[in-house]
Amino acid sequence: MTNTIETVENETVEKPPILIAHDVSKWFGKFQVLRNANLQVKTGEVVVIMGPSGSGKSTFIRTFNALEPYQEGRITIDGIPLTEDIQNIDQIRRDVGMVFQQFNLFPHLTVLENVTLAPIQVRKFTKPQADEIARQLLDRVGILEQAQKYPGKLSGGQQQRVAIARALAMEPKIMLFDEPTSSLDPEMVREVLDVMRSLAKSGMTMLVVTHEVGFAREVADRVVFMDAGQVIEDTTPAEFFTQPKEARSKLFLSQIL
């Protein structure tokens, strides 16, 4: 494990990683969810996090925009330390977009209003400016014609694409995806993965918790395998899927492949 971190550091001499998580530990009451978890992500990288359920992978990425507090270790995002300082947290949340398993669109706002709310309130855009950006993004994820509808009228796949557009409207530096296709019907998984694929091609830094092996193989620069709150393996997809080093990775792969 120390080897992989050193190689990553050697490769990025000129530019520090945009996301550094060092020895992060977290407890839910007495139960320890994260045990000295380490991760570094460079600008433009796509990192897929895999692991059995309960391994702490969702909790881990939720610490990166302070939706979950952590008790030990340190996290730095684009040079800003993620501490309890509320100003730092606000800045980091602006820079980090998040897509949830349950979409979490705002049901009382139209699709367009879902996308424009944060740009208007947080980035202080005028309504015409925000509308313009929102329309471009909705066009990019292929649902511009639904802009005036309420989220409840859309299919799961469409809702998740709106959620991606909503996060992108803040022009984040990093996008976090927390099992974005897990609550979708099978026929809708592809349309969401296609959007994520093109987002990765455009150079977005992405951290994706997913069980989609095909997506990981094709799009990811690295696969991070977590178990029992620890990062156990951090390697290329080719190596992870063909020659996993750790016994727990092998067991996991034998169950999902």
Partner 1 sequence: MNTKINVKPVRWVQKNLFNTPYNIVLTILCVWILWNIVSSLFSWLSQSEWTVISENLRLFLVGRFPEAQLWRMGAIALIPILIASTLVVRRSQTWNFVLIPVGLGAIAWLANGGFGLLLIRSSLWGGLFLTLFAAAISTALAFPLGLLLALGRRSELPVIRGISTIYIELVRGLPLIGILFMAQVMLPLVVPFRLDRLLRAILGLTFFNAAYLAENIRSGLQSLPSGQSEASRSLGLNSIQTLRFIILPQALRLVTPAIVGQFISLFKDTSLLALFALFELTGIARSILSQPQFLGRNGEVYLFIGLIYWIFCFGLSQFSKRLEVRSS
Q: Phi and psi dihedrals of 183, rounded to 5?
A: -105, 20
Q: Judged by CB under 8 A, does residue 65 bind partner 1?
A: yes
Q: Judged by CB under 8 A, does residue 107 bind partner 1?
A: yes
According to DSSP H, which parts of 32-148 are helical? 57-63, 86-95, 111-121, 127-140
In this complex, which beta carbon is closest to partner 1, that of residue 172 or of residue 244? 172
Min separation Cβ 114 and partner 1, Å = 9
**What string marks each residue from 146 to 165 as x (binds partner 1 by CB under 8 A) or -?**
-----------------x--
Cβ-Cβ contacts under 8 Å for 116 (sequence gap 6 or more)? 125, 127, 130, 131, 133, 134, 169
Total interface residues for partner 1 by CB under 8 A: 23
Token pair 């990192």: residue = 47
Min separation Cβ 252 and partner 1, Å = 27
Task: Choose one: 13-21, 30-38, 118-126, 245-253; the region binding partner 1 (CB under 8 A).
Answer: 118-126
DSSP-derived 3-state class of residue 39: strand
Q: Judged by CB under 8 A, does residue 170 bind partner 1?
A: yes
Which candidate, 170, 168, 195, 169, places its Cα nearest to that of 180? 195
- Burial call 216-250: b when 16+ CB within 10 Å, e when fewer: beebbebbbbbbebbbbbbbebeebbeebeeebbe
**71, 102, 126, 182: residue in contact with partner 1 (rule CB under 8 A):** 102
Min separation Cβ 133 and partner 1, Å = 14
**12, 22, 42, 67: residue in contact with partner 1 (rule CB under 8 A):** 67
Q: Which two tokens stand for residue 199?
A: 């987002």
**117, 144, 228, 253: residue in contact with partner 1 (rule CB under 8 A):** 117
Interface residues toward partner 1, by CB under 8 A: 65, 67, 90, 93-94, 96-98, 100, 102, 104-108, 117-118, 121-122, 163, 166-167, 170
